[in-house]
Amino acid sequence: MSNTLYPIFLKLEDLSLLVIGGGNIAVEKLNSVLANSPGTRIKLVAREISEEVKKLKLDYPNLSLHERSYTDNDFNSADIAIVAVNDIFVAEQIRDRAHQNNTLVNIADKPELCDFYLGSIVRKGDLKIAVSTNGKSPTVAKRMREILTEVIPDEEMDGLLDNMQHIRNQLKGDFTYKVKELNRLTTEYLDEKEIQPAETRLEMEKLISITKTVQRRANIYLGIIGVLTLIGVLALIIYQFNLSGDIQSFLSKDGYIFYWMLLAGFLAEIVAGSMGMGYGVICTTILLLLNVPPPVVSASIHSAESFTSAAGSISHYKLGNVNKKMVWVLFPVAAAGAFIGAFALSHFGEKYAHIVKPVIACYTLYLGVNILRNAFKGKEKRAESRRQKKRTNLRILGLVGGFIDSFAGGGWGPLVTGTLIKEGRTPRYVVGSSTMAKFLLTIVSALTFIFTIGIHHWNIVLGLLLGGVFTAPFSAMFTSRLPAKKMFAVVGVVVIIMSLITIVKSLT
Terminal CA-CA length for the chain? 82
Q: Is the predicted pLDDT of residue 480 greater than 70, yes or no?
A: no
Q: Which residue has the higher pLDDT, 381 or 340?
A: 340
Name the pLDDT band for 46 (thresholds 50, 70, 90): very high
Name the pLDDT band for 50 (thresholds 50, 70, 90): very high
DSSP β-ladder status, 16-20 and 63-67: unpaired
- What does the pLDDT average to over 451-464? 74
Q: Is the predicted pLDDT of residue 381 greater than 60, yes or no?
A: no
Q: Is the predicted pLDDT of residue 485 greater than 70, yes or no?
A: no
DSSP 256-318: HHHHHHHHHHHHHHHHHHHHS--HHHHHHHHHHHTT--HHHHHHHHHHHHHHHHHHHHHHHHH
Query: CA–CA separation, 251 vs 256, rounded Å?
Result: 6
Max Cα distance, the chain (Å): 100
Domains and CATH numbers, the chain: 12-118 (3.40.50.720), 153-191 (no CATH), 256-507 (no CATH)
Q: Is the predicted pLDDT of residue 467 greater than 80, yes or no?
A: no
- What does the pLDDT average to over 124-146? 79
The string of pLDDT tens digits covering residues 406-427 is 887 777 776 787 677 666 676 6
- What does the pLDDT average to over 298-315? 74
% residues pLDDT > 70 (the chain): 69
**What crossing angle do the helices spanning 294-318 and 324-348 adopt, rounded to 10°?**
170
Q: What is the SS3 assignment for 38?
A: coil
Residue 365's CB: how many other CB atoms inside 10 A? 20
pLDDT at position 67 is 92
**What crossing angle do the helices spanning 427-453 and 154-170 adopt, rounded to 10°?**
110
Q: Which of 76-80, 167-171, 379-383 has the lowest mean pLDDT?
A: 379-383
pLDDT at position 80 is 92
Using an 8 Å Cβ cutoff, are 408 and 364 in contact? Answer: yes
Q: Is the predicted pLDDT of residue 325 greater than 80, yes or no?
A: yes
Name the pLDDT band for 88 (thresholds 50, 70, 90): confident
Q: Which of 166-180, 347-361, 401-415 has the lowest mean pLDDT?
A: 347-361
Q: Which of 23-37, 54-68, 108-122, 206-220 has the lowest mean pLDDT?
A: 206-220
